[in-house]
């Protein structure tokens, strides 16, 4: 695993603007909020030969509960190369306020060389043999499925949703997407990926604290490396990045739930049929009723990026799916609004109807064996490295209605993965049942072309 923070320098057009470090920026803006003299006056008081003195004068207040100061450091970019897909997912889940991206399975064909070493993820010798057995078969089936589907599409391109008048380059890309999108469910969650994150020092410190609370070697190693790298940029904040009793307790409770479910109920390996839950909260105080009818919230709307009115923005939505495959979870988990949550307890295994394999029963047997053995081991959290992208887990997203409508339109719109479209279309139908008036305002797509 390689972790690197990326500094930002001003463009030539801002050559004459003030330049400050992230912590100096935060300290200047903190002073700014306690003065009416303007930023030039504050900058003039800094001893540029010893700027740390100005920083320390303000940052001591962080220790007295003024954490908002550390939110003014600006976005600090860090890339994490060679972490597992699980760890990349977990960082996005913890850092609900971050921006970021992760390597896509749609554009990168993977193989077993993409797996981390068992030592790097803390697998015991007893589990390593079972893990390798599962991983090797998973990747073999992934490669075989991709080649079979790609060849099938070459022989009959009508099975791919190709737009009319598409040129050969587009046809080739969509054919490849068709095969990769359906083969990806065999990819292990342990596969190494690259992920980029941008967040303030305040969010970084909190993220590292919670990451370091997860009882897994990879999580501890990543937290320590992030702490070391960010100490170059925001050294004063890193003392707030260590686990505390609350962060450890919460991580343990989620793990205990998932491991208990595995040990008590076993590992379901058949496809779990779709079930979606949607609830809406529209109540308002008497002293601040809705200021507009719902229809007026959509006046002037042209696409999913258009502004929505206050009535929609004040409506709370909770949506949950009983069987979200990890493949889809990786992306839906990156919607920044609201709160996203999954205990990552296996609930089944999803495969598209086009995918058939005589080795499926053997794969599911090895998967079940590894997960049960890991959950019973000295490091029960290591069961997570036995999940595949087709593993189904429960997933919940709580947010506001305008953000949820954006999610529906994005995940059913042109180019969306077919399975996203199924999940969000189902949620949309539930939403319309609850608020029928919304039907004419939500632009549900067909995800064509993929």
State pTM to two decimals: 0.90
Nearest to 195 by CA among 323, 321, 333: 333
pLDDT cut 90: percent of the chain above it: 69
In this prediction, residue 64 has a pLDDT band, given cuts at 50, 70 and 90, of: very low
Helix %, strand %, coil % of the chain (to 5)? 50, 15, 35
pLDDT at position 65: 44
Q: Which residues of 306-317 are buried (b: 16+ CB within 10 A; e: fewer)?
A: eebbebbebbeb
> Whole-angstrom Cα distance, residue 70 to residue 308?
31
- Mean of all residue pLDDT scores within the chain: 91
* pLDDT over 50 (residue 246): yes
Q: Which tens digits make up the pLDDT trace of 100-153?
A: 989 888 777 788 889 999 999 999 999 999 999 999 999 999 999 999 999 999
Domains of the chain plus CATH, in order, are 2-81+192-243 (no CATH), 252-350+390-440 (3.30.1360)
pLDDT at position 69: 63
> Whole-angstrom Cα distance, residue 190 to residue 118?
10
> Whole-angstrom Cα distance, residue 373 to residue 284?
50
* pLDDT over 90 (residue 46): no
Q: Which residues of 203-235 are buried (b: 16+ CB within 10 A; e: fewer)?
A: bbbbbbbbbbbbebbbbbbbbebbbebbeebbe
In this prediction, residue 67 has a pLDDT band, given cuts at 50, 70 and 90, of: low
Angle at 233 between CA 227 and CA 239, to 5 degrees: 45
Place of tokens 């919670």: 210
> CB-hemisphere CA count at 13 Å for 255?
19
Q: Which tens digits make up the pLDDT trace of 390-443?
A: 999 999 999 999 999 999 999 999 888 999 999 999 999 999 999 999 999 999
Place of tokens 């002073």: 31
**Looking at the DSSP assignment, which residues form a beta bridge with residue 398?**
318, 339
**pLDDT top residue among 203 and 50:** 203
């Amino acid at each position: 695993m390689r972790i690197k923070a990326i500094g930002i320098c001003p463009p030539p057009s801002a050559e004459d603007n003030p330049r400050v470090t992230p912590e100096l920026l935060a300290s200047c803006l903190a002073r700014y909020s306690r003065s009416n003299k303007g930023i030039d006056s504050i900058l003039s008081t800094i001893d540029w030969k010893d700027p740390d003195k100005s920083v320390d004068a303000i940052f001591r207040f962080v220790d007295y509960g003024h954490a908002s100061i550390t939110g003014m450091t600006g976005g600090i970019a860090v890339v994490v190369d060679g972490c597992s897909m699980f760890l990349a997912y977990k960082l996005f889940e913890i850092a609900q306020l971050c921006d970021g991206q992760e390597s896509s399975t749609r554009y990168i064909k993977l193989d077993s060389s993409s797996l981390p070493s068992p030592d790097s993820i803390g697998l015991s010798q007893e589990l390593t043999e079972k893990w390798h057995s599962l991983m090797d078969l998973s990747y073999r089936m992934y490669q075989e499925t991709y080649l079979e589907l790609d060849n099938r599409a070459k022989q009959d391109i009508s099975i791919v949703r190709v737009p009319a008048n598409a040129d050969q380059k587009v046809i080739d890309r969509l054919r490849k997407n068709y095969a990769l999108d359906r083969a990806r469910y065999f990819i292990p969650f342990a596969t190494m990926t690259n992920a980029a994150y941008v967040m303030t020092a305040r969010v970084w410190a909190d993220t590292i604290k919670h990451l370091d609370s997860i009882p897994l070697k990879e999580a501890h190693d990543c937290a320590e490396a992030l702490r070391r790298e960010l100490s170059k940029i925001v050294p004063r904040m890193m003392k707030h990045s260590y686990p505390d009793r609350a962060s450890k307790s919460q991580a343990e409770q989620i793990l205990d739930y998932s491991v208990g479910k595995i040990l008590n109920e076993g590992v379901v390996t058949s496809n779990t049929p779709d079930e979606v839950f949607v609830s809406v909260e529209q109540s308002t105080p008497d002293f601040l009723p809705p200021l507009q009818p719902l229809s007026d919230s959509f006046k002037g709307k042209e696409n999913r990026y258009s502004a929505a009115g206050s009535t929609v923005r004040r409506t709370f939505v909770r949506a949950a799916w009983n069987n979200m495959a990890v493949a889809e979870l990786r992306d839906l988990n990156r919607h920044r609004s609201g709160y996203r949550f999954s205990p990552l307890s296996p609930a089944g295994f999803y495969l598209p109807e086009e995918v058939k394999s005589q080795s499926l029963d053997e794969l599911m047997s090895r998967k079940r064996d590894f997960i049960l053995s890991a959950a019973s081991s000295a490091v029960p959290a290591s069961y997570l490295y036995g999940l595949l992208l087709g593993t189904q887990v429960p997933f919940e997203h709580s947010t506001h209605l305008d953000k949820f409508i954006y999610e529906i339109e994005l995940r059913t719109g042109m180019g969306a993965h077919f399975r996203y479209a199924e999940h969000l279309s189902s949620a949309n139908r539930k939403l319309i049942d609850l608020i029928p008036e919304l039907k004419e305002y939500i632009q549900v797509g067909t995800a064509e072309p993929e």
